[in-house]
A = this chain, B = another copy of it.
């Protein structure tokens, strides 16, 4: 049940639907409350494969009714982060949907295209292993890891704006 690569043509509505189904079932299973705001924020984040800033989400919410204050959005983001439904990209101060919400036992790595701004979430056991061997070597107990690779995706290479 992997989601599609943002760098390949796909029916994106499937990504959104899949993400919402995953969220529903995960929340049901764990007794989390996927409230209206939280669900809407998750939908907005999944509207594309581009990472979305908190204030961009606020803008969007403003377009469809009364614009909430920042804490509303940040609280929804905190919930979604803790539930493992989204990731924060530190290099962008922005948020992206988690495409593998099931398996939480290894790290997520991100490819961020600087041209089309799409973000791909990658899992890679080779890197996992190198990181854990590095940590072991240095006697370092890792609790959070963030690997963000910025550059140019396959579609944007060689194209006019590359």
Contacts and interface: CB of A to CB of B under 8 A. Distances in A.
B126 A154 contact: no
B127 A152 contact: no
A139 B124 contact: no
A147 interface: yes
A135 B122 CA distance: 10
Contact of A146 (B90, B143, B153): B90
Interface residues of A, number: 35
Contacts of A131: 127, 147, 149
A151 B138 CA distance: 12
A26 B128 CA distance: 35
Contacts of A141: 151-152, 157
Given A90-B91, A149-B145, A140 B127 contact: no
Given A127-B130, A134-B127, A157-B139, A146 B144 contact: no
Contacts of A122: 134, 138
Given A130-B130, A134-B122, A134-B124, A150 B142 contact: yes
A133 interface: yes
A107 to B, nearest CB: 9
Contacts of A148: 90, 145-146
Interface of A: 7, 90-91, 109, 111, 113-114, 120, 122, 124, 126-127, 130-131, 133-135, 138-154, 157
